C-alpha cells in the first residue's frame, strides 16, 4: 500500500552493491534469534505500526512458549521508522550490522520499503513485508505476506457487478504511485467485465475541503467510487461525501480498507462500503475468532484487530516454518526454507510461492454494516499473480 515498488525491489542498484555484502555469523546453540522490526511508531502511520506490533508480539509469545525455533528463543528488536524512508534505512542498517538480526519486519509504505532495498540486499537479509501493495517485486530478499491486486481488487470489481451495485466507476485517490498503479490495474478489470471508467482524479495529502471533487463525482453518473485515499484524509473525504449525500447514490469500493477505520466516520456513518481483504475480524471461522481472542487477551478487549495484525503474525509463523524446514539458523537457509513453504494461518492454509515469495491465502469480499466489517463473500484461496518476468 501507499507507494510503488521498483520492479526488482531496488532497480539498478542491486548490481552495484553485491560486492560489498556483509554476512551473518552462525548462531550458537541456545543463543536467541533476533528479529528486527522497522515500523512506523510515529510520523503519521503509527496506527499501522501498532497493528503490526500486536501481530508480531503474539507470534513471538507463541513461538517461545512452544520451545522456540530449533532450540532457540526469539527476540523482537523494534525500531521506529517514523514514517520516513531515510530513517527506515538508518534503522535497518543498525539492525543488520550492529544487532545481527536474522530478518527484518516492515515497513508499511512502499517508499520506505524501496528505500531500504539496497541495505537489505547488501546485508543479504530477508525483509518480511506484510502490507498490501501494488505488486511488481521479484527479489530473493523480499517476502510478501499481504495481498497484490489480483487477490484483493480483481475479485471485487466483478462481485459488485454481480450484486447489481454497478459497473460504472469513478476513481479517486491520493496523488502518488500506489493509487495510480492500483487504478491502472482496476481499469483493465473494469474493461474485462464490460464496465466503464467515467472519471479519474488524484489529490495531494492534507486537503481539508473535498466539496468540488464530491460534486464532480456526483455529476459523473458513476455508480461506484473506487477509492484509494488512506488515513485521516480518507476519513475526512468519507465524512464530507456522506454530508453531501453522495453515498446515497454511489457505492464506495475502498482499497486497503480495514477495521482500523471503523468508528472514525461517526455513528451510523461509513456504511455499505466494500473491500477485498485477507481477513475479517468478525468472521465466525474458529481460527479467526481464536486469533482475535488471543490478540485482545494481550491488548485489551477494545483492541482493533485488522488484517495488518494477522499478516504480520503470519510472517513470523512462516519464519519459524522456514527455519525448521531448513534445519539451521542463518539468513540464506531461512530464505530457502520459506520459498515454497506451506503453513497454517488463522484463516486456513497459506503457501509462499517458490520463485517470487508472495503468499497464496484465503480471500474475502467484506462490507461495512452496522458499525462493523462483515464477510460478504468467501472467495477461497487466491494465488498471487506471478511477479517475476
pLDDT tens digits along 300-333: 999 999 999 999 999 999 999 999 999 999 999 9
Place of cell 520459498: 339
Expressed in percent and rounded to 5, the helix, strand and coil fractions of the chain are: 40, 20, 40
- State the Cα–Cα distance between residues 8 and 383, nearest whole angstrom: 20
In this prediction the pTM is: 0.91
Give the model's pLDDT for residue 8.
Answer: 43
Q: What parts of the chain have a pLDDT lower than 50?
A: 3-22
Q: What is the reported pLDDT for 44? A: 83
Give the number of residues written for the chain.
389
Residue-level pLDDT at 15: 36
Q: Look at the block and give the residue holding cell 497493528.
A: 51
Note if the bond before 133 is cis, omega within 30 degrees: no
Q: What angle do CA 252, 244, 179 make, to 5 degrees?
A: 35
Alpha carbon distances (Å) from 205 to 172, 175, 176, 230, 275: 13, 8, 9, 9, 22
> Of the candidates 204, 201, 228, 235, which has an alpha carbon nearest to the alpha carbon of residue 215?
201
Question: Tell me, what's the pLDDT at 27?
Answer: 61
Q: How far apart are CA 194 and CA 152, in angstroms?
A: 19
C-alpha cell at 71: 532450540
Q: What's the rounded Cα separation, in Å, for the pair 145 and 343?
A: 12
Q: What are phi and psi of 139, to 5 degrees?
A: -155, 140
289: Cα separation from own chain's centroid:
20
Residue-level pLDDT at 134: 92
- What pLDDT, on a 0 to 100 scale, did the predictor assign at position 26? 55
Q: Are 174 and 186 in contact (CB under 8 A)?
A: no
Residue 232: per-residue pLDDT: 86
Which one, of 210, 226, 213, lies nearest residue 168 by Cα? 226
Residue pair 5/110 in contact by the 8 Å Cβ criterion? yes
Which strands, in side-by-side order, build the sheet including 74-80? 74-80, 33-39, 103-105, 127-129, 142-144
**Cell numbers that stand for 3 in this block:** 507507494
The predicted pLDDT at position 19 comes to: 35
Helix (H, G, I), strand (E, B) or coil at 283: coil
Supply 119's cell numbers.
541495505
Q: Are 101 and 330 in contact (CB under 8 A)?
A: no
CA distance 21 to 385: 31
- Which residues are CB-contacts of 215 (< 8 A; sequence separation ≥ 6)? 244
CB 365 within 8 A of CB 159: yes
**CB 184: neighbour CB atoms within 10 A?**
13
pLDDT at 10: 41
Give SS3 for 368: strand
Q: Are 214 and 241 spatial neighbours (Cβ–Cβ below 8 Å)?
A: yes
Query: Three-state SS string across 209-268, please?
Result: CCHHHHHHHHHHCCCEEEEECCHHHHHHHHHHHHHHCHHHCCEEEECCCCHHHCCCCCCC
CA-based angle 146:148:153, to the nearest 5?
A: 115
Structural domains in the chain, CATH included, are 13-147+287-361 (3.40.50.2300), 151-280+369-382 (3.40.50.2300)
DSSP letters, 120-170, are HHHTT--EEE-S--------TTEEE-S--HHHHTTTHHHHHHHTTS-SEEE
Amino acid at each position: 500500500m501507499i507507494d510503488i515498488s521498483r520492479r526488482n525491489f531496488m532497480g539498478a542498484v542491486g548490481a552495484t552493491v553485491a560486492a560489498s555484502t556483509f554476512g551473518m555469523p552462525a548462531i550458537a546453540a541456545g543463543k536467541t534469534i533476533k528479529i528486527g522490526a522497522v515500523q512506523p511508531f510515529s510520523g503519521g502511520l503509527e496506527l499501522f505500526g501498532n497493528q503490526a506490533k500486536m501481530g508480531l508480539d503474539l507470534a513471538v509469545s507463541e513461538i517461545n512458549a512452544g520451545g522456540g525455533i530449533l532450540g532457540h528463543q526469539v527476540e523482537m528488536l523494534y525500531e521506529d521508522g517514523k514514517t520516513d524512508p531515510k530513517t527506515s534505512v538508518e534503522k535497518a542498517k543498525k539492525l543488520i550490522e550492529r544487532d545481527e538480526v536474522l530478518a527484518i519486519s516492515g515497513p508499511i509504505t512502499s517508499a520506505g520499503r524501496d528505500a531500504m532495498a539496497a541495505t537489505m540486499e547488501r546485508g543479504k537479509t530477508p525483509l518480511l513485508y506484510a502490507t498490501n501493495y501494488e505488486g511488481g517485486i521479484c527479489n530473493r530478499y523480499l517476502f510478501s505476506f499481504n495481498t497484490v491486486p489480483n487477490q484483493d481488487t480483481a475479485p471485487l470489481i466483478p462481485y459488485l457487478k454481480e450484486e447489481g451495485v454497478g459497473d460504472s466507476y469513478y476513481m479517486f485517490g491520493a496523488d502518488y504511485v500506489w493509487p495510480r498503479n492500483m487504478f491502472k490495474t482496476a481499469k483493465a478489470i473494469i474493461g474485462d467485465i464490460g464496465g466503464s471508467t467515467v472519471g479519474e482524479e488524484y489529490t495531494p495529502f492534507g486537503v481539508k475541503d473535498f466539496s468540488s471533487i464530491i460534486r464532480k463525482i456526483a455529476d459523473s453518473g458513476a455508480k461506484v467510487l473506487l477509492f484509494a485515499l488512506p488515513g485521516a484524509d480518507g476519513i475526512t473525504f468519507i465524512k464530507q461525501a456522506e454530508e453531501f449525500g453522495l453515498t446515497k447514490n454511489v457505492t464506495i469500493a475502498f482499497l486497503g480498507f480495514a477495521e482500523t477505520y471503523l468508528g472514525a466516520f461517526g455513528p451510523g456513518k461509513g456504511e455499505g462500503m466494500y473491500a477485498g481483504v485477507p481477513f475479517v475480524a468478525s468472521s465466525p471461522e474458529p481460527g479467526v475468532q481464536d486469533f482475535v481472542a488471543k490478540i485482545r487477551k494481550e491488548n485489551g478487549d477494545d483492541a482493533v484487530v485488522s488484517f495488518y495484525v494477522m499478516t504480520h503474525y503470519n510472517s513470523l509463523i512462516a519464519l519459524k516454518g522456514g527455519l525448521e524446514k531448513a534445519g539451521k539458523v542463518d539468513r540464506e537457509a531461512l530464505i530457502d526454507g520459506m520459498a515454497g513453504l506451506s503453513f497454517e494461518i488463522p484463516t486456513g492454509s497459506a503457501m509462499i510461492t517458490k520463485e517470487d515469495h508472495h503468499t497464496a491465502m484465503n480471500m474475502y469480499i467484506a462490507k461495512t454494516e452496522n458499525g462493523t466489517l462483515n464477510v460478504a463473500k468467501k472467495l477461497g484461496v487466491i494465488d498471487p499473480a506471478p511477479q517475476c518476468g
